[in-house]
Structure 1
């Protein structure tokens, strides 16, 4: 894929077509609306009734903190659609994401929206919030870009919208050499796809592009291995990479050290006491050994997102108002913040919160509150092995979890296993598995879309209310 770009940079022409990619998109309500006006969109063409599952893929900064999300819609070979059809697909996509209320997320994160150049004339594009959304430009099939297309990009850029461009997508077939510098010069981010080629092919790009377009920061996309990450962090022009995305980063990699600190040990002991129905005074005594844990717990519990009628001030009140099961649920969050407030552990916490809330909402949808609580625990403990750097069975052993929770986590079987598998499939963009699991559970794709978006926003609210979120303004 990247050969065409190298040819273009060296003055050679190439007509190799670029393989079609799926569309990553997002829609929001505006903070600062733009007023750029373009011609009316053409009459609709035949479109599917739904664009299918919308994945939320995390984008991390150099400290491994989540700062943005990609919203990828999987609906066939969208990348090959003709300009008119692609414009209509993008329009429907923006509408779908608006119905999902994705804009709520932008108070805490940024969104990368993949749109074709042909879709920039859509009215919805000029309404995107410039502060929160970065449009990743894509060609519409093999249709060449024109001077008018670049004028639209420039007008939106002047109005405040930011752009990211994957240079390899714009070969000589779709972008004339005379327009290349103008288009690339408008980019705030250059996207480098690590799935496209081996590092030896990426290296020349890293050596040449930063010199020609010094103002753009770099987005390392589809990081698939430790070697990819090493190249983006320490290879040529590595200081230009600001954000990162990919299956390697999304996987539950264990933290560098397996040492469990005293605070984590105390949290596990309190959770054991709760499961053993120990006396409240015995539980409170453990908190007195680490007052910071009590402060963090009460901050979690009293967060506005939980909607308590009055603030909880003591462990005794927590037990009375919340009950042991709910207190146990909130204690689980302290495992991620007790160790240290670093990017890696907080990213694990965010992912665990999304899984937990998503599964809990599916349980509520079924109408069984007890199952919903247990589904939450399944999600929140699913990354405990990565956090503590011990086998999951050893991490879960002192907690005496309900049987369906343990079966789903340790053996991938039982009542909760399909819910857990669905949460992981949504998170890791296993878009072909999502419909199959949805059918198995008797769930509608649109419901899954909405609940997963709700879970992402809820996780941001919990983290923000407790001062443990990343800095989206860094991008």
Structure 2
């Protein structure tokens, strides 16, 4: 077993050095980043469980060490680059690791305070691994004990555990996690790692247990589904009216007059325009100023962003983040292949593909209220046209369907380009959401 990081620092670690050490795998094994959302009881995103899906067929895929290094290298490049603050705020990343992966120096490129290493009891109790576990723990890495029937009785091992896998929310395991308190040790956080349906999530939420939301369970029911009502929030109605006015190229003075009926919305729109994540590069003082400098398309995009966050009482926070992230993901992938000037359409395609879930009304009703272009509607309704394949690829990456490699190849996109767009969109949505839907 190789304890690489005991012998050299992360700055000294290079692919060539690792090859010389006998770890001989390319750090860029072709594959796609996949993740599962960790949701708290209020359906807010608390973290992400990351994995690597090899682009090659299973029998041709690189070994586990190579794939893990590729995952860590990708995360480091796009979420934790040198001399840059951690790009996911307080969100934690969870990685499944075993004895071999725990010994890799590649871990040193991850931010310890935001990294949780998911281990099984056999590795946690392995005497040979004990020095590594303590070394990582002292650096600030956290450990989640997975697939164990009980927490360890040994105080030394128990002191390493910060998160505990409670399966589908087993009440006995939850009670065990909350009943184990050691001096100078943070409470152990129970996490449900299995979810058969959103009913399971709600049962865990009642007990304040965070849940890894299984993508195979689909999305929760739209807010109006349980009531049978499709009534929109007043702010949503106003934004949709403004979007219609922009689509019809109505006079700017009339658009401004409509917007001024809601001072709070005007403030939020201007704040969006001037935020680092979506700002125009200069300070925008008014709607007239924005349109004079940039035109109607960016205004349509910004209002679309606000529409995604205009139903906070009905839409769960993670859905708002998901819609905004998907819009940015589709946009970034499309920018690589499509002519300049398509960005705003691409963003609208991605975000509006979830707008029925956010507003709680049927998609066709939304499209009747906001007359989007035929190419945008075609992508949203059928995944066809010039924009549709980019939306299909984004959904395949989000849902981890195994179709990402085929869809990317059809678009002449490499896995590294898709991963760069995906993780950049993840970070971008982190910057946008707190200002609008915290």
Q: Which of the five TM-score ranges fits, normalised by the shorter chain?
A: 0.7 to 0.9
Aligned to 2:72: 94
* Alpha-carbon separation, structure 2, partners of 1:179 and 1:75: 38
Report SS of the residue matched to 2:244. Answer: helix
C-alpha separation between the residues in 1 aligned to 2:236 and 2:217?
24
1:106–1:132 Cα contact (<8 Å) kept: no
Q: Which moved more, 1:63-72 or 1:361-370?
A: 361-370
Preserved contact between residue 126 and residue 156 of structure 1 (Cα < 8 Å): no
Whether 2:223 is the aligned partner of 1:255: answer: yes
Spell out, residue by residue over 1:142-190, the C-alpha distance to the aligned partner (whole angstroms, 9 max, x if none).
989531213421332233221111134x89xxxxx98877545521001
Say whether the 8 Å CA contact 1:191–1:220 is kept in structure 2.
Answer: yes
1:132 partnered with 2:114: yes
Aligned equivalents of 2:55 and 2:243: distance in 1? 46
Bigger shift: 36-45 or 328-337? Answer: 36-45
**What are structure 2's unaligned runs of at least 5 residues?**
9-17
Alpha carbons of structure 1 residues 116 and 343: separation in structure 2 relative to 1, 3 Å: farther
> Structure 2-normalised TM-score?
0.82
- Provide the aligned length of Structure 1 versus Structure 2: 411
Matched, 1:409 2:380: yes
Contact 2:38 2:210 in 1 (8 A): no
Q: In the alignment, what sits opposite 1:461?
A: 431
- Residues 31 and 55 in structure 2, CA contact (< 8 A), matched pair in contact too: no
What's 1:105 paired with?
A: 87
Alpha-carbon distance between aligned partners in 2 of 1:267 and 1:414, rounded to the nearest angstrom: 27
Q: Are residue 70 (structure 1) and residue 85 (structure 2) matched?
A: no
Counterpart contact for 1:407–1:413, Cα < 8 Å: yes
1:116 aligns with: 98
Which residue, 31, 43, 57 being the options, matches 2:36? 57
Assess if the C-alpha contact under 8 Å between 1:38 and 1:122 holds in 2: no
> Could you list the per-position Cα deviations for residues 256-288 of structure 1 after superposition, in whole angstroms to 9, with x for gaps in the alignment?
564312111111111111111111121111112
Q: How does 1:276-315 map to 2 (within 5 A)?
A: 276-315=248-287
What stretches of structure 1 of length at least 5 have no aligned partner? Answer: 1-35, 80-84, 172-176, 470-475
| SS class of match (2:46) | strand
Distance of 1:434 and 1:450 partners within structure 2: 14
Distance in 1 (alpha carbons) for counterparts of 2:239 and 2:164: 43
1:188 aligns with 2:162: yes
CA RMSD of aligned residues (A): 3.5
Structure 1 residue 223 corresponds to structure 2 residue 202: no
Query: Are residues 178 and 438 of structure 1, via their aligned partners in 2, closer, same or farther at CA, if it must alter by over 3 Å?
Result: closer
1:7 matched to which residue of 2?
Answer: none
State the match for 1:246 in structure 2: 214
User: In 2 relative to 1, CA 255–268 (structure 1 residues): closer, same or farther, beyond 3 Å?
Assistant: same
Separation in 2 of the partners of 1:178 and 1:275? 62
Change (3 A) 1:57 1:143: closer
Task: Classify the secondary structure of the residue corresponding to 2:272.
Answer: helix
CA–CA separation in structure 2 for the residues paired with 1:308 and 1:231: 44
Task: Provide TM-score, normalisation by structure 1.
Answer: 0.76
Mapped to 2, the partners of 1:343 and 1:398 lie a distance apart of 20
